[in-house]
Chains A and B, each alone.
Chain A
Amino acid sequence: MIHLHRRHLLSWCVALAAMPFAHAQSDTVKIGLILPMTGQQASTGRQIEAAVKLWQAQNGTKAGGKTVEVIIKDDAAVPDTTRRLAQELVVNDKVAVLAGFGVTPAAMATAPIATQSKTPMVVMAAATSAITDASPFVVRTSFTLPQATVPIAEWASKHGVKKAVTLVADYGPGFDAEKYFDSQFRLNGGQVLEKLRTPLRSPDFAPVLQKVRDLSPDALFVFLPSGQGAQFMKQFGERGLDKAGVRLIATGDVTDDDQLNDMGDVALGVINSHHYSAAHPSATNKKFVEAFEKANKFRPNFMAVGGYDGMRVIYNALNATKGQGGEALLNAMKGQVFESPRGPVLIDAQTRDIVQDIYIRKVERVNGQLWNVEFDVQKAVKDPGKLK
């Protein structure tokens, strides 16, 4: 009796295991979307997931004559997990594209897998410049920190800032921001008095802010991962730095659309530079924001637009290759030009990185809500990290 049961069970297992494979080969293309859905970076995952769903709701699930199936995996922004999940997705699920990647270490850990398996890897969030160098199969649809930083450095030196202090979070993207602000600002004749770094885990900014106050620069340039921004601006105001004449300039991560509205008046007037604002005044963006807010209860941020455009790049490429994967798919991703909610963008064929406009924005209250209102723009900015 027992033996019989076992044998039955075994055959069932074999049948079940074999089924998805038989199905997968024929008419579906799978995208393995690895995102931080839990943990500190969860808002990134939530935004990108919503954007990907929106794209599929608007554009259907067919591309290149095949059904596109998105498999979402949660890595909680732990690189080891990302790597393992990517491996599983490539080996077991036979995905044609790996996508997502909330933080730089996660993307870096996955790059070798993309290279070995010749799977195109679409980075929708992580923003350290060097990621696209980590594998020839990486394509980026978010932004790079040097790209967002150089325009604000330039803007600052044009608008009366002679002495600045930089304050960045102590990790990869922070170093990028610090380095490129410093070099651009000094190139334009400015002086960086001090380069401060603050640990990722400790959000008490009292000591560093006191240091800034004692140095009394014209402006403080800040990069912090989205999430710490509110905390920072509050303490900036409480310490009286605004009254002491220190201007706050930042990359748009600090005034992230996702949380901007909850930050309150402390955020008002902060000048920052970024590639996407939910308040971007174009018809494409208005439609995007409207549809996004209707489907979800929150505002899209730059992460969402990275996910949305990432899906567009994948769909376009699949259409071009008639559903073929591997290197053909990668080549079809290169050189794409399209109108994104953020404005016109190009996937640079050489660097596989995104070329886009960077806007200088100011936080203002419009119709009772806080928005990043764009007032200046630098056109078609290429990642300065790739210019050497």
Chain B
Amino acid sequence: MLTLLFDGVAYGMLLFILALGLAVTMGLMNFINLAHGAFAMAGGYILIVLMQREGWPFLACLPAAFVLTAAAGALLERTLYRPMYGKPHLDQVLFSIGLTFMAVATVDFLVGSSPQTVQLPAWLRTRFEFGSGHWQLGMGAYRLFIIATCVALAIGLQATLNNTRFGSRLRAAVDDSRVAAGLGIPVNRVFLVTFAVGSGLAGLGGALGADILGLDPTFPLKFMVYFLIVVAVGGTSSITGPLVAALVLGIADVMGKYYVPKLGAFIVYVLMIAILLWRPQGLFSRQGGR
């Protein structure tokens, strides 16, 4: 029971870090980026290539996954995404889904389509167990590591958004970019950085999740639905929303597969429908937001 809860939290945290970038671009920048999963996949493959082929240590690969995907995100933002900001949402969706298919084909071509396995270092493969019987708590070191990383990131990001100059500039730029620009805020640069960080987070999430979620070229398509659910359920106004949504979904998914295996993967969707009927704006929505 406790073990299940723990697994659910770890899974939820992973979903959170993967979907956070999407929440940021969609909620703050009002841009629908369905290619978000492609950045996550890129992060996963960066981890595999650096660790398994180049022999980098695991802990060095994670920042590398973040930095490289963030750089790729920045490059694409500058060249491809920026002209799309003003376009209608349908155009954005078509554009980004096309980008996703291109990413899938590219990875298939470069690395091959078979699923990749991550060989974690030994210290992350241990397991701690407490108690016994129904209340036994078993924690895999790696899942513990994921939870710790994600909590740290969530706190850091929330603080950045609410308490720093950059955070207030970003919020201003989102609310009314023309006025913000008039006040001397470099709107383009703010968006660029935000987009890059969002992509980088996806890359980091992909690298962290490669072991648990599996990694193959269809990754962006397989998990796109999950990201969108997290964002839809959580609302896009804050970091708390997606966090709570991801945790609820992660726990529900794991518990559902344990207690009602017949329904299995369907639980998540039922839950999403229920929550959205109750709160169509998502769990946490911004008053008067767009």
Contacts and interface: CB of A to CB of B under 8 A. Distances in A.
A complexed with B: yes
Interface residues of B, number: 33
B129 A240 contact: yes
Nearest to A231: B214
Given A197-B264, A206-B254, A238-B125, A42 B113 contact: yes
Interface string B192-222: 0000000000000000000111101010001
A228 interface: yes
Contacts of B264: 170, 197-199
Interface in B227-286: 253-258, 261, 264-265
B138 A227 contact: no
A125 to B, nearest CB: 15
A207 B214 contact: no
B91 interface: no
Contact of A201 (B125, B222, B257): B222
B115, B129, B212, B265 pick with most chain A CB within 10 angstroms: B115
A273 interface: no
B257 A259 contact: no
Interface in B13-61: none
Interface string A195-219: 0111101111011101100000000
Nearest to A263: B117
Contacts of A240: 127, 129, 138
Given A203-B213, A259-B114, A264 B119 contact: yes
Contacts of B3: 210
A23 B10 CA distance: 63
A204 B264 CA distance: 12
A203 B142 CA distance: 16
Contact of A230 (B117, B212, B213): B117
B7 interface: yes
A11 B213 CA distance: 56
A43 B114 contact: yes
Interface string A32-48: 00000011101100000
A239 B127 contact: yes
Contact of B127 (A43, A202, A238): A238
Contact of A238 (B142, B214, B218, B256): B142
A211 B1 CA distance: 10
B265 A199 contact: yes
Contacts of A231: 115, 117, 214
B7, B256, B261 pick with most chain A CB within 10 angstroms: B261
B98 interface: no
Contacts of B112: 42
Interface string A241-279: 000000000000000001100111000000000000000
11 contacts: A39-B218, A40-B113, A42-B113, A204-B214, A227-B114, A231-B214, A237-B125, A238-B125, A238-B140, A264-B117, A264-B119
Interface of A: 38-40, 42-43, 170, 196-199, 201-204, 206-208, 210-211, 227-228, 230-231, 234, 237-240, 258-259, 262-264
